[in-house]
Structure 1
């Protein structure tokens, strides 16, 4: 049975302006510049740059009855848009970015790709037409690291189906040897072992190089696992001889493709959103000037409203439609300018709170001074939602006297030390990293030994936690840290 009923509900809904503000807050500096440019192109009522100081006086002391009646027919008051009685706050906002500031952006340099470099070298080799096509196809399958990671049998099938070229494994092996003779050394290898062996084969012969070649050919597994004692016994060599051979291997490039500059890859240039400096022992925070563009309402659109207000007689329907279009564009421009201003205020308020919260770290640069801090800590301080703090910290960088960092890296969970005090997990990771750097490389500390060492320093954490932090720091296990 269907029923109709009335029900009252109280719901919270974001206004279009709030939605726009949230989206703007999340944008980093470079993305904000693009977003402002999009708005300038989409809304002709929005202008960029400093507004002229001299302006016409739009307001008048009295209006004729005819003008008053005409304004009354409209949905808005034109004087609201033309009056200078109250200068909008966005026009009083100080700006620290001017047209003569230096542009720190790095231009992208054009160049040839890694594959093009290899193909140009093939052009200097004496190859038949068919061999050249097959060799170029093989080069096209080499990845950015310089490896050929496809099975040759798959390449044979691909050549037959896609190129109509029928070949065999022997011909591919012969042409692959031609490619492996190209620069950089090691290119075209199918494994790390083959890559290092190819590089060693091009080195000037010496006892250390010959021993390194033997290690690659016959003792690669022992080399990878750092079983130095087995290699010493089986090869009947001294530690100094083995050390010299390992030093030769350590200077080889495991990713030869990375040694070739690829101009086709985009150059990444981090633009900090905040600048923190120390002046007279006090922290100073500045917002990157590009976050504070000078925007204003177009004088042309103001002139349209002025012309309509000063015109005599009742407006036609087309004139009213045009006026409503102008009003909508000016409203959108004002909303956008206000959203940019609120974005600046929110960013400065949030970052200044983070700076004060981590004051000891920003004054010293010592990661052990970092306090445990989560999004809720800052949100409670500035009395805003956690999502707002997350948007401010997301994809934004701060330039400090100690380097440029992603803001979210300053947030960390806390743990209890032996005194019952809350310490940041970042502090524990730093101490763990320092302990590994100071260890005896001939007998590296295991995770269990590291856990015991940290406990002695007042940080009682489990072995599995040590392993997790070590992996997050990109540090290998003890066996792989062993040195002669």
Structure 2
């Protein structure tokens, strides 16, 4: 007969309430996302309302070190480096100043909407012919498209709609009346040029290396791609970057804190206050009680988010005081989330959320919060420095190298070893690629 046994077991588990999960999302919101969430809550909850705050009081900062002075805290206006300019819309408007038929403008609009973030058009004329004919419900000849594309390329910034780098360089060289030899190199020897095979170019064109060097000097001043300088203006990246933190350095003091864009203080809508005392309509009373509870939690969550962010930036400023004063990478100390957690008492998970996708406005520019967290590299003498500083050293070695004999990753590794760094060649390669530095073969010049 089978026997029955009673087994007792103990398990440890962690249950997270829906509101706790919602608060974790709150922490991760950037300023624009939080503003959207507040707008949504105001629309859905009649008990919640807001009061406009004085604009000059929106951005309050603390001094470091703090003092007992009664001086009013310094304030800052909304970040003036936010980018919201749409270059594609400007090009479309510029094309319409040519006063061409509406069909032609429609073709130009489609071409401009089809370029990538660099301004290159990845469709052939044949593909554009098929797509436009279908979309406009009328046959569009590729010769007509070619004429429109030619006009688009001559708008400012010029070259938008070129196929690739070779096409764009050839367009610029021709527009700027560069030498026939340069046009020949770009048009028929571009692969050799991209691979730095200068000897083969000289041999095929029957010119000296000195003459080739003179011709290639004409490339100086040409843009690398059509929308160079307008990277944040294309539709795909038409998002305003608003910093959540600001750290300034004035009169030998660091001034720091959180930024708030909304200028709204959340409050209870007192027009519904009397409804809580009336019990004639139980359903209404229950509904308003639930909404008031929800509004109270929402306001508390917003305040707790700001408090957590203030605690975080305070600890970061303390750990990176030298860097925020100088702006020099050499003053950036190794710092991980665990270091900030030890100072604040917050969990690493919480700190990760209030630093992810958030920016700090400083006197030397806009800095992603995540870039302040770097791993430590230990030198042979035991000194710890940030891996960002090592990357800066690699960058300087590359910029100072002999371009006719550029340094390989192994050679950079040996140079760093002589300065007390024990790093592998693979690490150097990773640092170089992170900084978008080409390999030694592609850095070779005449």
Q: TM-score, normalised by structure 1?
A: 0.72
What does residue 174 of structure 2 align with?
201
Equivalent of 1:228 in 194, 198, 207 = 198
Residue segments in structure 2 that go unaligned for 5+ positions in a row: 61-74
Where in structure 2 are the equivalents of 1:48-197 lying within 5 Å?
A: 48-49=50-51, 96=59, 113=89, 116=92, 139=111, 143-144=115-116, 145=118, 147-151=120-124, 172=142, 176=146, 179-180=149-150, 183-184=154-155, 186=159, 189-197=162-170
What does residue 385 of structure 1 align with?
347
**DSSP 3-state at the match of 1:464:** helix
**What are the superposed Cα offsets for residues 359-401 of structure 1, whole Å, 9 maximum, x if unpaired?**
2222222212222222222223322221101101111111222
**What are the superposed Cα offsets for residues 323-358 of structure 1, whole Å, 9 maximum, x if unpaired?**
222222221121112112211221111221122122
Structure 1 position 8, deviation (Å): 7.6
What does residue 396 of structure 1 align with?
358
CA contact (8 A) 1:415 1:424 kept: yes
**DSSP 3-state at the match of 1:405:** strand
1:154/1:342 Cα in 2 relative to 1: closer, same or farther (>3 Å)?
A: closer
**DSSP 3-state at the match of 1:460:** coil
Equivalent of 2:244 in 249, 264, 273 = 273
What does residue 22 of structure 2 align with?
20
Separation in 2, partners of 1:285, 1:259 = 30
1:286/1:148 Cα in 2 relative to 1: closer, same or farther (>3 Å)?
A: closer
What does residue 72 of structure 2 align with?
none
What does residue 308 of structure 2 align with?
346
1:273/1:136 Cα in 2 relative to 1: closer, same or farther (>3 Å)?
A: closer
Separation in 2, partners of 1:135, 1:270 = 32
CA contact (8 A) 1:371 1:424 kept: yes
Separation in 1, partners of 2:52, 2:90 = 47
1:238/1:152 Cα in 2 relative to 1: closer, same or farther (>3 Å)?
A: same
Separation in 2, partners of 1:133, 1:410 = 47
What does residue 271 of structure 2 align with?
300
CA contact (8 A) 2:360 2:369 kept: yes
**What are the superposed Cα offsets for residues 450-469 of structure 1, whole Å, 9 maximum, x if unpaired?**
11111111112111211110
Deviates more, 1:145-154 or 1:224-233: 145-154
What does residue 63 of structure 2 align with?
none
Residue segments in structure 1 that go unaligned for 5+ positions in a row: 52-93, 309-314
CA contact (8 A) 1:176 1:188 kept: no
Separation in 2, partners of 1:290, 1:156 = 46
CA contact (8 A) 1:114 1:257 kept: no
Structure 1 position 409, deviation (Å): 0.9
CA contact (8 A) 1:222 1:230 kept: yes
Structure 1 position 218, deviation (Å): 3.7
Separation in 2, partners of 1:280, 1:133 = 56
Separation in 2, partners of 1:174, 1:48 = 56
What does residue 57 of structure 1 align with?
none
Structure 1 position 404, deviation (Å): 1.4
Deviates more, 1:464-473 or 1:23-32: 23-32
Separation in 1, partners of 2:382, 2:260 = 44
Matched, 1:249 2:219: yes
1:248/1:33 Cα in 2 relative to 1: closer, same or farther (>3 Å)?
A: same
Structure 1 position 7, deviation (Å): 8.3
1:301/1:150 Cα in 2 relative to 1: closer, same or farther (>3 Å)?
A: closer
Deviates more, 1:372-381 or 1:404-413: 372-381
Q: TM-score, normalised by structure 2?
A: 0.78
Deviates more, 1:245-254 or 1:370-379: 245-254
Separation in 2, partners of 1:281, 1:326 = 52
CA contact (8 A) 1:152 1:172 kept: yes
Separation in 2, partners of 1:197, 1:48 = 58
Equivalent of 2:257 in 281, 286, 296 = 286
**What are the superposed Cα offsets for residues 299-330 of structure 1, whole Å, 9 maximum, x if unpaired?**
2233333x53xxxxxx44x2x33322222222
